[in-house]
């Protein structure tokens, strides 16, 4: 019974740390590929919190962001 309690406490302590982070390293854009679910998402930088279908899609979004909206005279 004591071993069960110890195992339960250990599991409760370990759970939040397992769910809070992933081991993926970020590239120069602050993003990385999501190998589990697919796609490409950003944690840092101007596109933080956004998900894209690929790195190319992110680069296109970043290029649009840098040029900004165009105005007509």
In the numeric block, which tokens belong to residue 42?
């950003």
| Segment 15-67, tens digit of pLDDT | 454 444 556 699 999 999 988 888 999 999 999 999 999 999 999 999 988 77
Spatial separation of the C-alpha atoms in residues 10 and 17, rounded to whole Å: 12
For 65, which DSSP code? Answer: H
Domain ranges of the chain: 25-68
| Segment 1-29, tens digit of pLDDT | 777 667 656 655 554 544 445 566 999 99
Based on its alpha-carbon atoms, the radius of gyration of the chain, rounded to whole angstroms, reads 20
Spatial separation of the C-alpha atoms in residues 24 and 14, rounded to whole Å: 19
Q: pTM score > 0.75 for this model?
A: no
């Amino acid at each position: 019974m004591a071993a069960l309690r110890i195992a339960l406490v250990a599991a409760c302590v370990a759970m939040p740390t397992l769910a809070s982070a992933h081991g993926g390293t970020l590239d120069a854009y602050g993003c990385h590929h999501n190998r589990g679910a697919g796609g490409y998402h950003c944690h840092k930088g101007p596109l933080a919190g956004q998900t894209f279908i690929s790195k190319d899609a992110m680069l296109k979004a970043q290029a649009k962001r840098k040029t900004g909206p165009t105005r007509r005279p």
